[in-house]
Amino acid sequence: MNSDFCAEGGWFITKDWLRPIRKISVNTLKYSILTIGAISSILPFYWLFISSLKTPEEIMGVITTWWPHNPNWMAFIRAWDFLRPPLPRVLMNSFLVSGSYTLLLLLGSSLTAYALAKYKFRGGPLIFWIIISTMMLPGIITLIPSVMLMLWFGWLNTYWALIIPGAVNAYTVFLLRQYMITIPDEVFDAARLYGCSEFGIYWRIVLPLCKPALAAIGLINFVWNWNDLLWPLVVIKDANLYTTQLALMGLWDFRGSLPHLNLVAACTVYVTLPLIIFSIITSKHLIKGFTGLSYTAR
């Protein structure tokens, strides 16, 4: 009766009275998969946390424990200075660098994107094409020459080296341009009619209208810059300027050292927690930024 119209699949899939059972088992499968994924995502964080709470003796013991016998919060206090430079300085460095970088990036890229989106001029398509092609090119090749540039500018070992070179980023320009194209032209005509300057249009109309896109793209760039290791590693030697990644990397020699493990763990917690909290708060926009990237495929 029913199977007249079935394409394929065994009796489990086609008999209608099995529908509720089918639904439950599919749901169970679904949620199990998701939960396994979630637990495995969380496990390392959990381990990090309890590692910071265990005493060195417990860590050195051969038995693996899943919860510290005597949760010991001392590590968090001692970790405050264990990092070189101390944590507040490190966090400040990273905030300064990543924040300035993001700001500069958004301003520069949005200006560029605006010019490309809403003005017709000779060379416009060419420039856009150039930008697209730079997106595809691997960054490794510019590593060494960029270091030389930093040397010539005298920026080695300064904040400038960490902030300026990223001012215009192809992905950002591309995404913002796509977003700006959707703003109806009449908005600009009206503004010009009412005497707004060209830069004023950019500053007062385009930027506010692009806030969601700016937020999303700015956030992922901020996070990316915060977590970057290679470039800061190459251009910064002065410990006072260490970003969170460099400071954490400074603990490398201690990472396997059992007596210090809880300290290293605590430092790691300190270094990662701000960004995690920040990301959870801004998760909605952050995620939009990442999905926006995937639209560059189209």
Partner 1 sequence: MVEVRLEKLTKVFGKNTVAVDNVNLHVKDKEFIVLLGPSGCGKTTTLRCIAGLETPTSGNIYIGDRLVNDVSEKDRDVAMVFQTFALWPHMKVKDNIAFPLKMRKVPKDDIRKRLKETAELLKMSHLLDRVPGQLSGGEAQRVALGRAIIRDPKVFLLDEPLANLDAKLRVHMRVEVRKLQEKLGVTTICVTHDQVEAMAMADRIAVMHQGKIRQLGTALDLYDKPEDLFVAGFMGSPPMNFIDCTYEEEKKALISEVFSLEIPKNLTKEIKEHATSSEIILGVRPQDISLHEKQMPNSISTEVYAMEPLGSEAIIDLKLGDMIIKAVTPPTYRTRPGDTAWIVFDMNRIHILDKKTEKAIV
Partner 2 sequence: MKRSRVPYIFLIPFFLSFAIFWAFPLGFAFYISFTSWEFRPPLFGGKWVGLQNYVEAFGDRYWLEALQHSFIYVLYEPICIFIGLILALALNTAIKGRSVFRTVYFLPVITSTVAIAYVWGWLYDYWRGPFNAILRLFGLPPVAWLSVWNALYSVMIMSTWQWMGLNVIIFLAALQSIPNEYHEAARISGANAWNTFRHITVPLLKPTILFCAVTATAGSLQVFTEVYTLTREIPTTTVAVQYIYRQAFAYLKFGYGAALAVILFLIILVIAMIEFRLLRRGGMVYY
Considering only residues 7-46, where is the footprint of partner 2 by CB under 8 A?
7-9, 13-14, 30-31, 33-34, 37-38, 40-45
Amino acid 142 reads T
Say whether residue 11 binds partner 1 (CB under 8 A): no
**Residue of 212, 205, 203 whose CA lies nearest to 176:** 212
**Residue bearing tokens 């430079």:** 85
Whole-angstrom distance, CA of residue 53 vs CA of residue 67? 9
Whole-angstrom distance, CA of residue 24 vs CA of residue 9? 18
**Pattern of binders to partner 2 over 118-157, x per CB under 8 A?**
-x-x--x--x--x---x-xxxxxxxxxxx-xx-x------
In the complex, the smallest distance separating the C-beta of residue 11 from partner 1, rounded to whole angstroms, is 14
Nearer to partner 2, 24 or 148 (CB): 148
Whole-angstrom distance, CA of residue 160 vs CA of residue 23? 58
Question: How many residues in the shown chain lie near partner 1 by CB under 8 A?
Answer: 10
Q: Do the beta carbons of residue 180 and residue 188 sit within 8 Å?
A: no
Among 10, 11, 12, 16, binds partner 1 (CB under 8 A): 16
Among 174, 179, 226, 242, binds partner 2 (CB under 8 A): 226
**Residue of 135, 160, 136 whose CA lies nearest to 149:** 160
**Residue bearing tokens 């990662």:** 272
Among 10, 11, 17, 62, binds partner 1 (CB under 8 A): 17
Say whether residue 252 binds partner 1 (CB under 8 A): no
In the complex, the smallest distance separating the C-beta of residue 4 from partner 1, rounded to whole angstroms, is 8
Say whether residue 24 binds partner 1 (CB under 8 A): no
Q: Do the beta carbons of residue 64 and residue 187 sit within 8 Å?
A: no
Q: Could you tell me which stretch among 6-14, 44-52, 105-113, 195-203 binds partner 1 (CB under 8 A)?
A: 6-14
**Residue of 221, 216, 187, 213 whose CA lies nearest to 202:** 187
Nearer to partner 2, 9 or 20 (CB): 9
Report the partner that residue 276 touches, choosing among partner 1, partner 2, none (CB closer than 5 to 8 A by kind). Answer: partner 2
Nearer to partner 1, 8 or 186 (CB): 8
Q: Do the beta carbons of residue 223 and residue 286 sit within 8 Å?
A: yes
The one-character DSSP state at 77 is H
Q: Please give the residue ranges that form the binding site for partner 1 (CB under 8 A).
A: 2, 4-8, 14, 16-17, 19
